Every structure is written in structure tokens, then in C-alpha cells.
Structure 1
């Protein structure tokens, strides 16, 4: 990772986010998680952070935030709890846009 790269700040009010708020959280990976991201074929460096997009289920001020993932597609939602000391960046994001209807052929 480029050492000059700056992450956006953690929203200081993250512990006050109400349940149902859609958020993006950037969290620091553990050493084991980071090693698991190394590409053995290319030798690319391991990742040190990952992003989680989700809906807030609960917060424990100064301790953690729990979200239900909101990745879309065919993936099932997963509940993720992120300790406060792993948060690198956190912010609210707009609700997911509604799904569009499939296109119909024009006669």
C-alpha cells in the first residue's frame, strides 16, 4: 500500500448511528487474514484493509459496530461485528437504489 495514501476519517458519531443506517466501513485485517490475501502466483503484496458495506444492526460505543452485509447480487447477507480498534474509515452512505425491472423487447 502506498504510505502517502490517506483514508477518509472515521465518522466520530459512528457509535450513535441508528439501527438501519447503511454504511461503509474500512477495517484493518488481522495478520492471518492479510496473509490469506497474498497472491502466490504473482507474489503481490497482501492486503491490509478491506471494506464492508452494510446495514447497522447495533453499536457499542468505544467497542464495536455490527452490520448485516449489503453486497447485493446473489450473495447472502452476513452479520459482521467490527471492533472499534480495527476501524480505519467509516461513513454513512445512501440507501441502495431500487431494482429496475428487466427490459422488455419493443414490438
Structure 2
């Protein structure tokens, strides 16, 4: 998967508030393991807008699919951040029947 926006040179520390990002974070070792039916995963991805960047980590405002919940703020601790990358704005849905 590729995106037109490159990862900042300084990693997640260089992300700016207001940027829409995807953050891959580690799940707690004692927590549940997410499984797709065969493979266990120790990571999960968050999509949202950067609210704050600090040495402690990132604060994001989630970007839920319209009609599927309200945005909420989530803190991601620095040691849990596996990767973070800017992504383009959410595509605008077209209304009406397909042509």
C-alpha cells in the first residue's frame, strides 16, 4: 500500500497538528490478540487527525466512517508507536445511482 504523502524524515515527531494520519500501534502484551481467523496480530491501526505531538507520544482525534460513531481523542504512547504516516483526506462519497 502506498500513499502520495511521504513519511516525515523525523518520523512521527515531525507530524503537525491537523494532519490526517494512520498510526500503527502495539497492543499491550497482556491484552487481547486480534486474529483474522488464522494469524494473531500484536498491532492495530488508528486513523485520525493529529491533535498534539510530544515526546510522550501522539494525541489523535479519530476519523470514524460517517454515521458510525463520533470522533474521540486517543493517546498513543511513544513506545507503542510502530509507524505513523500522513494520509490524504477521506474521499467524498458520491450520491445517486452509478452511471
How many pairs does the alignment contain?
Answer: 91
Query: Where does the alignment leave 5 or more consecutive residues of structure 2 unmatched?
Result: 1-6
Larger strand percent: 2
- With structure 1 as the length reference, what TM-score do the two structures score? 0.69
Gaps (5+ residues) in structure 1? Answer: 1-9
Structure 1 runs of 4+ aligned residues shifted over 6 Å read: none
When normalised by structure 2's length, the TM-score is 0.74
Residue 33 of structure 1, CA deviation: 2.6
Q: Which has the larger radius of gyration?
A: 1
Instruction: Please identify which structure carries the higher helix content.
Output: 1
Deviation at 1:76, TM superposition (A): 1.9
CA RMSD, 1 decimal = 2.6
SS state at 1:15 partner = helix
